[in-house]
Amino acid sequence: MEQDIYENKTVNSLILYFSIPAIFSLLVEIMASVVDTAFAGHLLPSPEQREAVYHRIREFRGSKPIFTMDFQNDAEYVGGCIAGGRNYLHINAKGDVEPCVFIHYSKCNIHNTSLLDVLKSPIFMAYHDNQPFHENMLRPCPMLENPEVLRRMVRETDAVNTDYESPESVEHLCDKKIEYAENWKETADRLWRNCARCKDCNQEG
Ligand code: SF4
């Protein structure tokens, strides 16, 4: 006669048996969080690397008939941060309307809020009212280069986290960026002060 695999097991051992996947998943999540916190800064370019990209992109512009664009160092050509509806916004798969594809804090969902009302909502108005986030266009981002600004905007507007895969408080996110912002400040200010616009992009300095 075929034996039931659960027949000889106690309730406690069955609970343990079925808990193993959940425990494993929890451990993976904890490890991912530790790695995320410990290595967050290492996934971003160092000031030296970012400066090398800054110069290289400008060299290309001076030697090739194309306008190469650098995501991190070309805010001067778009007047700073473009998020929060100034030039774009992001709608996730669940319909949450976020100021930027990297900023998962919002209180509006496109399924029950018009785009116009989204733009008038607190977090989007905070983006509008706080622009530019820095006068140095090499430090334009409210998260990467000015984490205290994003922290304040999210707190003041009560925007909630809309990252369902990897929920993160604004405190955790912004704490991770403090060191990066501090490290980049000196290089960014020197480059911005000494910007050779006239030479590299034919604008008046
Ligand atoms: S929030 Fe930061 S990453 Fe997003 S558009 Fe603005 S500057 Fe770029």
Residue nearest to atom 7 of ligand 1 (CA): 141
Regions of the chain with pLDDT less than 70: 1-6, 33-42, 196-205
State residue 17's pLDDT score.
Answer: 76
Q: Would you list the DSSP string of 95-115?
A: -BEESBTTB-EES-BTTTS-H
Q: Residue 56: helix, strand or coil by DSSP?
A: helix
How many other C-beta atoms lie within 10 A of the C-beta of residue 41?
A: 14
Produce one character per residue of 49-82: b if its CB has 16 or more CB atoms within 10 Å, e if not: ebbeebeebbeebeeeeeeeebebbbbbeeebbe
**CA triple 189-195-197, angle to 5 deg:** 150
State residue 26's pLDDT score.
Answer: 78
Question: Tokens 């916190």 correspond to what residue?
Answer: 37
**142 Cβ below 6 A of ligand 1:** yes
State residue 205's pLDDT score.
Answer: 39
Instruction: Record the tokens describing residue 165, joined without a space.
Output: 């895969």
**44 Cβ below 6 A of ligand 1:** no
State residue 164's pLDDT score.
Answer: 95
E-only strand ranges, the chain: 90-91, 97-98, 105-106, 160-161
State residue 143's pLDDT score.
Answer: 97
Residue nearest to atom 5 of ligand 1 (CA): 83
State residue 196's pLDDT score.
Answer: 60
**100 Cβ below 6 A of ligand 1:** yes
State residue 3's pLDDT score.
Answer: 62
